[in-house]
Amino acid sequence: MTQWNTLLTVLNRGMTDVSVTNESILTDSVTELVEDWVGRIVGYELPGDKMNELIDYAMGLNGVLTHVGQKSSSAKTVEHHLRRLVGVIATADEFAYR
């Protein structure tokens, strides 16, 4: 539980100098980006319906789409949207119970 709370605190308050944008893989696929972050945070791929929900969520974020080269947003927006994606992944039951 402590890991989960710490991760959410860091992501929400920006109490880190780690750039989620710089840590994200360079890809032109939202699916690959989500799979990479899920692998890092959870350690394995989530069930199909949960992965699809995360991918759909990520496709609705302009910053994520900018990161993969499909839209245009500011660097700050890209960072915020990637942090949101990471935060949502961290709320998965699979992360909390691993």
What predicted TM-score, i.e. pTM, was given to this entire model?
0.74
Total domains present in the chain: 1
34-53: per-residue pLDDT in tens? 999 888 888 888 888 999 99
47-89: per-residue pLDDT in tens? 889 999 999 999 988 888 888 888 887 888 888 888 888 888 8
Angle between helices 48-59 and 75-90 (to 10 degrees): 160
- Helix (H) / strand (E) element for 49: namely helix 48-59
The whole domain housing 89 covers 2-96
The tokens describing 48, both together, are 């199909």
